[in-house]
């Protein structure tokens, strides 16, 4: 009967002028009460996370502090406590820690937070009490958390005092890693005696390769090289296949000048990317082409994963062996996410130019300038290498433009100012060259190369010769045997009309280093002395050195129109 009544009501026509109740959804009549933002847990959590993404710690702390009150989740209270401590909000930290404890915080993390708060307040006694509670929990992470507290302390002396008081041999666990961590922390905090004591005790207690190796490094820094070597021998006897130990020992031997011993140590045993890299560095330092060749062969035959991770090293080895095409192929295999990807691309551009493929080299660098547009350091380097390659090809206008682009990224960079000054000088833009060299000397008043470059540029333009003489004399005093500076001095003497002195100086520079520009200068001086045959012989040698020398071309055109 009730069903019929309800059905009848549903079918009855609506009253005139009023909407039928059947046309309205029941949910439309419901009113949902929504909390304001301050009482909306989700809103506060979102606000806190967004503030963290902006590195706004104060905003994040405030948001998580409000969220903590609205939530029964101990993780939210823990985050609120950590942020309040970070921003040094003592009342907020105390409230968060109390809320966290009430929600069932674990003893270890709670003691860690309380210790951090005590440290921020300068309460060493309370910090020590909490740290002792922390390490007494037996939590596997307790000593790691202990270390985090001390590393985060703003007072290194206070942290060091607590380290020595709490991290005693009696308290440290039966875990060599904890002993090594405390010893290293003591060393970083300036408590070397404590660090050495813990390291020595760890080596005696555990006798592991790692404990011997760490003690060896400390002994070495204290000047006990024999003791360090003996300990490293013990370390390797314990763990002969540990490549990290071998690398550490080889580093010590290399620092002591025993490159051969370091190489022998790395030659045997398992090999990985790091051992190959260090062996290559040792061979390069010794200029040992035979070993470089052997390493290159071994590395090509190494397991695929090692070979793939060593593509950049293989390229370097191929370069050292003057196998430029092979080097290019290896550099091309360096993955984009490899730490050496940028350097591999730069080396590829340089090799392309060496192989006579300058257009490809500049295309590569142009692509890099696009790829690294948002990375100023790398972008600057790409422009600089582009400029250097143009300089090598004597395309000075293009070099000047590339140097200028790099200087837009790092204005007043000394290396870039020097390079652009040289490009300007070669273009004949003397005023601009002088401006760059003067700016460079203002930044680095004792820069010998800048003094020589400015002095030479002025002498070459036959202007401000007294200033040129002062500048080149300063460069000569700093590097009396430098052929480039001798060339500047000889050219200045030529401008001053001292032909005999110019000829003597330039001939000395020419004999020391057969540079095309020096030869051109010597030839011109000989020509002006009336010794055209001698001059032509020098010019012939210059052609062999640099057949495309624009300096020679311009000089011959001027001397013999």
Token pair for 416: 């870039």
Lookup: tokens for 456: 């030479």
Q: What confidence tens digit (pLDDT) does each residue in 418-438 have?
A: 999 999 999 999 999 999 999
Is the Cα dihedral 550, 551, 552, 553 positive or negative? positive
Whole-number Å distance between alpha carbons of 479 and 449 = 10
Contact 396, 423 (CB under 8 A): yes
pLDDT band at 18 (very low <50, low <70, confident <90, very high): very low
| Separation CA 503–CA 530 (nearest Å) | 12
Check pLDDT > 50 for residue 4: no
DSSP letters for 358-385:
HHHHHHHHHHHHHHTTT-HHHHHHHHHH
Answer whether residue 306 shows pLDDT above 50. Answer: yes
pLDDT tens for 354-406 read 999 999 999 999 999 999 999 999 999 999 999 999 999 999 999 999 999 99
What is the DSSP secondary-structure string of 315-326?
A: HHHHHHTT-HHH
Instruction: Please identify which residue in the block is written with the tokens 């001086």.
Output: 525
The span from the CA of 448 to the CA of 420, in Å, is: 17
Instruction: Find all residues with CB under 8 Å of 60, minimum gap 6, and list them.
Output: 48, 49, 51, 52, 83
Q: What is the pTM of this model?
A: 0.67
pLDDT in tens, 135-178: 999 899 999 999 999 998 989 999 999 999 999 999 999 999 99
For residue 25, the model assigns a pLDDT of: 53
The span from the CA of 459 to the CA of 465, in Å, is 6
Q: What is the CA radius of gyration of the chain?
A: 37
Helix, strand, or coil here: 115? helix
Would you state the pLDDT for residue 2?
35
What is the per-residue pLDDT for 9? 36
**Average pLDDT of the chain, as a whole number:** 90
pLDDT value of position 242: 86
> Is the predicted pLDDT of residue 36 greater than 60, yes or no?
no
pLDDT band for position 260 (cuts 50, 70, 90): confident
The predicted structure's pLDDT at residue 372: 94
- Rounded Cα gap, residues 176 and 100, in angstroms: 33
Delineate the domains of the chain, giving CATH numbers in brackets.
340-445 (1.25.40.10)
**Average pLDDT of the residues in 192-196:** 95
Distance of CA 158 to the CA centre of its chain: 32
Instruction: Please state the rounded mean pLDDT for residues 284-292.
Output: 89
CA atoms within 13 A on the CB side of 557: 6
């Amino acid at each position: 009967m009730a069903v019929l009544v309800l059905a009848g009501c549903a079918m009855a026509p609506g009253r005139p002028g009023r909407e039928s109740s059947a046309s309205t959804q029941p949910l439309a009549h419901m009113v949902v009460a929504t909390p304001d933002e301050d009482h909306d847990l989700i809103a506060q959590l979102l606000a806190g996370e967004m503030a963290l993404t902006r590195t706004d710690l104060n905003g994040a702390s405030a948001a998580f502090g409000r969220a903590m009150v609205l939530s029964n989740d101990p993780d939210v209270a823990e985050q609120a406590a950590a942020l309040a401590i970070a921003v040094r909000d003592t009342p907020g930290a105390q409230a968060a820690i109390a809320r966290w404890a009430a929600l069932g915080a674990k003893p270890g993390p709670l003691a860690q937070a309380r210790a951090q708060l005590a440290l921020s307040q300068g309460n060493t006694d309370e910090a020590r009490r909490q740290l002792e509670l922390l390490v007494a929990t037996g939590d596997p992470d307790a000593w790691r958390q202990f270390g985090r507290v001390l590393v985060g302390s703003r007072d290194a002396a206070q942290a060091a005092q607590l380290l020595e008081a709490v991290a005693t041999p009696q308290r440290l666990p039966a875990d060599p890693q904890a002993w090594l961590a405390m010893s290293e922390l003591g060393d970083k905090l300036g408590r070397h005696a404590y660090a050495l004591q813990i390291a020595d005790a760890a080596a005696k207690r555990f006798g592991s390769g790692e404990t011997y190796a760490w003690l060896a490094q400390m002994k070495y820094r204290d000047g006990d090289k024999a003791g360090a070597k003996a300990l490293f021998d013990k370390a390797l006897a314990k763990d002969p296949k540990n490549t990290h130990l071998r690398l550490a020992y080889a580093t010590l031997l290399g620092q002591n000048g025993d490159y051969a011993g370091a190489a022998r140590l790395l030659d045997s045993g398992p090999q990985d990317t790091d051992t190959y890299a260090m062996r290559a560095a040792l061979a390069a330092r010794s200029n040992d082409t035979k070993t470089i060749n052997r390493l290159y062969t071994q590395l090509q035959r190494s397991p695929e994963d090692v070979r793939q991770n060593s593509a950049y090293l293989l390229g370097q080895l191929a370069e050292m062996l003057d196998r430029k095409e092979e080097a290019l192929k290896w550099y091309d295999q360096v993955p984009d996410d490899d730490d050496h990807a940028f350097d591999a691309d730069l080396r590829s551009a340089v090799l392309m130019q060496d192989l006579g493929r300058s257009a490809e080299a500049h295309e590569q660098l142009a692509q890099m300038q696009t790829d690294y547009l948002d990375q100023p350091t790398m972008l600057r380097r790409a422009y600089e290498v582009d400029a250097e390659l143009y300089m090598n090809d004597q395309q000075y206008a293009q070099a000047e433009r590339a140097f200028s682009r790099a200087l837009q990224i790092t204005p007043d960079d000394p290396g870039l100012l020097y390079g652009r000054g040289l490009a300007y000088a070669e273009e004949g833009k003397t005023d601009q060259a002088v401006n760059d060299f003067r700016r460079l000397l203002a930044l680095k008043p004792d820069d010998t190369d800048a003094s020589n470059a400015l002095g030479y540029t002025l002498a070459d333009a036959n202007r401000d010769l007294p200033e040129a003489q002062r500048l080149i004399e300063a460069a000569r005093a700093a590097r009396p045997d430098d052929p480039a500076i001798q060339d500047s001095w000889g050219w200045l003497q030529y401008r001053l009309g001292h032909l005999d002195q110019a000829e003597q100086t330039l001939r000395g520079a020419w004999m020391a280093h057969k540079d095309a520009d020096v030869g051109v200068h010597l030839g011109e001086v000989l020509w002006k002395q009336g010794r055209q045959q001698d001059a032509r012989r020098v010019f012939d040698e210059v052609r062999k050195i640099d057949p495309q020398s624009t300096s020679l071309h311009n000089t011959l055109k001027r001397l013999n129109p």
